[in-house]
Amino acid sequence: MARPTTIHVCSACGHSTPRWQGKCPGCDAWNTLVEEARPAAASGSSGRAGVARAARPRPLSEVDTAPVPRLSTGIGELDRVLGGGIVPGSLVLLGGSPGIGKSTLTNMALGNLAGAGRRTLYVSGEESAAQIKLRAERLGAGALAVPVVAETDVDTVIATLEAERPEVCVIDSVQTLHAAELTGAPGSVGQVREVASRIMRVAKAHAIAVVLVGHVTKEGSLAGPRVLEHLVDCVLQFEGERERTYRTLRALKNRFGSTSEAGVFEMRSGGLVEVLDASARFVGEATRAPGSVVLAAMEGSRPLLVEVQALVSPSELVPPRRVVNGLDRNRLALVLAVLGRHAGVGVGTADVFVNVVGGVRIDEPGADLAVALAVAGAARGVALEQPDRPLAAFGEVGLTGELRSVGHPERRIEEAAKFGLRTVVAPPGSGGLEARTLREALKAAFGGGERRPRAA
Ligand code: TYD
Ligand code: MG
């Protein structure tokens, strides 16, 4: 009988078995066996010990470095998140939920690169060449210049890469490619890992910059792309809600740049458009009603004003609902607990809904204070003290009810001032309207904090 070409290796203890099993015989863990290609000539490998020569370690100060060259994608926001453009020979993973615009973004980038005279290649395992063309037609002339291959077999893709030697290649998506030796379905952990590492070897050998597109479910739970994070140079996450038009692109890992950068895009009928005046749009839409506060946030090195809205309503449910959009759920739980314990705003028996307007996601502790003010305003039905003068806020809320400073206070306040928000409630030492505790911040925002009837 032919020897199987694959083995199943436990991702927890490393035990290997020829066949898949639900429980690892080595460590008794469930669902940890992952299919891998059998290593070639495993038995003869011990003979290499005598042949290998010791490497000579060098002090880092003697290592030569050249400035990293960059290929501009022609999309300013994308270049910025990448740290100045695509690095030749690098491997980028672009993750995001289906329909968010990954194919659109990569199509546009390749179109611009092709227009700038770069050799490009778009490999699609999801769509036929005709479907890709339909999209490219919406994106303008540049996108139509990109050579495409619709293929799902990784060996064919690699042979194509070696024959074409593009400078930049997009694989859309890594979950649709499959290696023939592995029996697992495309998209399984073993397949994704094998496909990506094979592509990486070719890419590094020929200095091809590769963008691997990967789907991530809302929970980020899908095995696929997450297992690649350690392998690639750069992990980009494309987020937003499909029904909304705004999208944020964020770097979660970047060997050639900062991970704090983020870009904002809007999906239009002609593709993704960079949103450079995001603050102006979000503030312009702010309602200034009770339960609405402008958050002076930082998106990487850039300040961004967004409106945080809260609704507090009596609940029939036990436990009551906590629905949050664009913020971390656990952070909301913390803010609600501190509001109840240290600021006298209890919402224990009410449903609380908090939303960052526009569908952007804010991932920083500086959002706490704005959330707290929005919830307090909604719970009390109290408008801000000077409703004609809209209010902004930022700051982290500590567990004892104190306000803690966050990064770049002066840039946040400047950005708020730029859009006419003169009152910015902020932690001590930040400039602006300073408050030491959440209670003081509530007082600053709502005046004496006296309860007014909700209907008023
Ligand atoms: P797509 O890039 O295919 O998403 P992904 O590859 O992440 O799954 O496109 C997502 C959506 O964007 C799709 O529903 C259609 C819409 N769209 C536009 O609104 N305008 C456009 O110009 C294009 C190309 C797509
Ligand atoms: Mg797609």
| Ligand 1, pocket-test mutation among 75, 102, 245, 267, most atoms within 8 A of CB | 267
Place of tokens 């339960």: 291
**Alpha-carbon gap, residue 123 to 121, rounded angstroms:** 6
pLDDT (0 to 100) of residue 451: 46
pLDDT band at 48 (very low <50, low <70, confident <90, very high): low
Q: What superfamily in CATH does domain 76-276 come from?
A: P-loop containing nucleotide triphosphate hydrolases (3.40.50.300)
How close is the Cα of 98 to the center of ligand 2, in Å? 7
| Ligand 1, pocket-test mutation among 75, 78, 104, most atoms within 8 A of CB | 104
Please list all protein residues whose beta carbon sits less than 5 angstroms from ligand 2, which is an ion.
103
**Alpha-carbon gap, residue 186 to 13, rounded angstroms:** 24
Phi and psi torsions of 79, nearest 5°? -60, -40
pLDDT tens figures, 268-310: 888 899 888 778 877 777 777 888 899 999 887 788 899 999 9
- Atom in ligand 1 nearest the alpha carbon of residue 238: 7
Tell me the ligand closest to 106's alpha carbon. 1
**Alpha-carbon gap, residue 46 to 42, rounded angstroms:** 8
Whether the model pTM is above 0.85: no
Ligand 1 is surrounded, with C-beta below 6 A, by 96, 98-104, 135, 138-139, 267, 269-271
pLDDT (0 to 100) of residue 456: 34
pLDDT (0 to 100) of residue 111: 95
pLDDT (0 to 100) of residue 47: 52
pLDDT tens figures, 61-95: 888 887 778 999 999 999 999 999 999 999 999 99
How close is the Cα of 99 to the center of ligand 1, in Å? 6
**Mean model confidence pLDDT for the chain:** 86
Place of tokens 């895009």: 265
Q: Is the pLDDT of residue 151 over 70?
A: yes
Task: State the sign of the Cα–Cα–Cα–Cα dihedral 160, 166, 172, 174.
Answer: positive
pLDDT tens figures, 364-419: 899 999 999 999 999 988 776 665 666 899 999 999 999 999 999 999 998 888 88
Tell me the ligand closest to 105's alpha carbon. 1
How close is the Cα of 151 to the center of ligand 2, in Å? 14
How close is the Cα of 400 to the center of ligand 1, in Å? 46
Tell me the ligand closest to 135's alpha carbon. 1
**Alpha-carbon gap, residue 435 to 413, rounded angstroms:** 15
* Helices (H), ranges, 166-316: 189-206, 223-226, 278-284
How close is the Cα of 140 to the center of ligand 1, in Å? 14
CATH number for the segment(s) 279-445: 3.30.230.10
How close is the Cα of 276 to the center of ligand 1, in Å? 20
Domain limits, the chain: 1-38, 76-276, 279-445
Q: Are 93 and 236 in contact (CB under 8 A)?
A: yes
